[in-house]
Amino acid sequence: MKPQPEITPEPEVPPKPPLRAPELTLAQDSGLTGDALTRNGQIKVSGLEEGASWTFSLDEGVTWRAGSGSDIPDDLFEGDGAKVVLAKQHLDGATTSLVGRLDFVLDRTPSSTPRVDHRPSTLMNRETGERAEAFVVIGNGADEPGLLHWQTDGDLSDHSGASRLEVPIDALGGAGALTYWHVDDAGNVSEKGVLPVDVVPPAKLTVQAVHPAMRVSEDSIPMHAGDLKILGLEPDAGWRYRIDDGEWTDGQGDTLSDEALRRPGKHVILLMHVDAHGNESDVHHVPIEVAGPLRLSLKNDTGDTPEQRADGITSDATVQVLGIGQLHGAVQYRIDAGSWRALGDGKIIGSSEFDGDGRKRVEVRPLDANDQPLQALSLEFQVDSVSPSSLRLRVMHERAKVNELGIPAPGAEYSLTNRAQVVIPDLEEGASWSATQVDRGGKGAIGSPVEGTSEQLPTTIFKEGPQIIAVNIRDRAGNAEKTVRLEFIWLDTTPPPTPEWSVLEEAPGTKRFLLKSPERDAHFEHRPDASTVWRRVGKGEELTGPHEIRQVDLAGNVSVESNWLTANQVLLAPLIH
């Protein structure tokens, strides 16, 4: 066999590798780099083979479009939100590459202007007087991440920070404006906001009393009760105040009106000026001293009883002005709406200033340091300087006029009565009286006086037998009766003895009796039974029983017991009683 020649094998040709997928990248990853969040949807297409064509899909492979150049335009993307881009390349009309993919989020919505939370640099600690550090903070919405940017009039450079940014106090300078805006993570820029900035504290406020008082000391502002005018307020500014240990209060308008300014004495007012930007001034301490109010009273509200000494009816019209102190200047007064006159140094309006008796009205008003009159106070009272009319006393149940011995006689002075009842008719309203027993001369008092206001003297002042009662009267104003009235009274409350008689003669079935004489100036009375009235027994009258007999004395006292004349008895009254 003929040997065969060796065959050299053809070298193996490796297969061509498949076309690689195109590379897709954001042309501009606006905002934060690498976060696949952008406001520009332009896509760069790279990694294409020479001579290759390419197609792309924006709906996850449902439809494909022929690409041109090396990018996908932004305007092919509609609306914001998550986007998916697919791409593949083709060679020789027969070979197709793997699919390239890019996921990103498109956000073309402009960012919102950030919120501003700011506090001026001049807020004060009201207790310590220390000023708080100023700051201005810019904050964006919680659902909108991004970066904050700001610049001031004095610093035009662009500063950026995180979602919360504090502007340094030294960057604020004095007055000016702070411009701020927000750039979200997609690079969208908000509208710019402008905040006027004023970190200059306003000046301290000053005050002026509406009604200043006479100055006593330079350490405080002297004033009458009233208001304070606030001076030095900037346009559109406000103010706050505190008096003594009270609470801080927002002021209203340009007038400080507070009840504490009407309380006499020394007070300390703390004032703070707050400008239109909220800057607070240093706390201003304002010591004041409020003059006390004036008071009017009668110097001597005359009368006998405590009630009369406080009833505003007096015989002495002297009026005293109380409460005048060092802070008070001039004081004026007038009577019954007359002309105003200056009050003298004695602080007294004399009784002679008032014309006659009757109702009176006196007004007093202080003047402030500018001679402006303040509110007047008034006092009304009644003047009565006329002595009461002479008393009339009346002894009730007077039975006779008797002498000191109790015997009726011409010109006798004593009123005989068996009841201690003496009245004062027509007693003036509000008047009082004083009554006492006096001796025969009418001068020396016997026992202690008794006082009262009723129209009847008390029974306790009287005694049995003859007596002289002295009574005088004082009206509500304390005017006394010029004449003391004396009343002569003989009080007899002792009943006479029971009637007695003696036998004159006796006959069958009949007895005749003689009635014994009564006591001096007494008489007898009789009645046949209890249903009839008593009748006086006449002199020498003969009575046939039955009859009840009693004795009645001159004072009207009746015997305690009576005596009965029976049917078979005859009584002969004496001829002399």
| pLDDT of 263 higher than 90 | yes
324/358 same-domain check: yes
Q: Decide: helix, strand or coil at residue 59.
A: coil
434/523 same-domain check: no
Contacts 24+ apart (CB under 8 A), 535-540: 537/573, 538/573, 539/573, 539/574, 539/575, 539/576, 539/577, 540/572, 540/573, 540/574, 540/575
- The closest of 274, 286, 282, 284 to 235, measured between CA atoms, is 274
Task: Evaluate whether residue 16 is within a structural domain.
Answer: no
CATH code, domain carrying 30: 2.60.40
Please tell me the least confidently modeled range out of 6-10, 49-53, 140-144, 501-505: 140-144
276/313 same-domain check: no
pTM summary value: 0.57
Reading the block at residue 487, the tokens are 């009343």
- Residue ending a domain, choose from 290, 313, 331: 290
73/121 same-domain check: no
Reading the block at residue 196, the tokens are 């006027």
Cα 328 to the center of its chain, rounded Å: 27
User: Is omega for the bond preceding 373 within 30 degrees of 0, making it cis?
Assistant: no
| pLDDT of 143 higher than 90 | no
286/307 same-domain check: no
350/319 same-domain check: yes
Q: 19-59: per-residue pLDDT in tens?
A: 899 999 999 888 777 888 999 999 999 999 888 999 999 99
285/302 same-domain check: no
Say which residue the tokens 């406020």 belong to.
205
Q: 264-317: per-residue pLDDT in tens?
A: 999 999 999 998 878 888 889 999 999 999 999 999 998 877 888 889 999 999
Identity of the residue numbered 445:
A
Task: Evaluate whether residue 1 is within a structural domain.
Answer: no
State how many domains the chain has.
6
- List all residues 6 or more positions away from 508 whose beta carbon is below 8 Å from its beta carbon: none
101 close to 45: Cβ distance less than 8 angstroms: no
Task: Evaluate whether residue 5 is within a structural domain.
Answer: no
- In degrees, rounded to 5, the angle at the alpha carbon of residue 437 between the alpha carbons of residues 434 and 439 is 135
Please tell me the least confidently modeled range out of 49-53, 171-175, 437-441, 480-484: 171-175
299/379 same-domain check: yes
Domain assignment of residue 175, given as a range: 115-197
- The closest of 573, 557, 555, 553 to 565, measured between CA atoms, is 573
Looking only at the bridges linking them, the beta strands covering 569-572 and 510-515 are parallel
- The closest of 196, 220, 200, 194 to 209, measured between CA atoms, is 220
What is the gyration radius of the CA atoms in the chain, in angstroms?
Answer: 62
- Report the phi/psi class of residue 312: left, alpha or beta, with left for phi > 0 and alpha for psi in -120 to 50: left
Read off the pLDDT of each residue in 420-447 and give the average, rounded to a whole number.
84
Whole-Å CA distances, 1 to 4, 6, 270:
9, 15, 134
Cα 68 to the center of its chain, rounded Å: 89
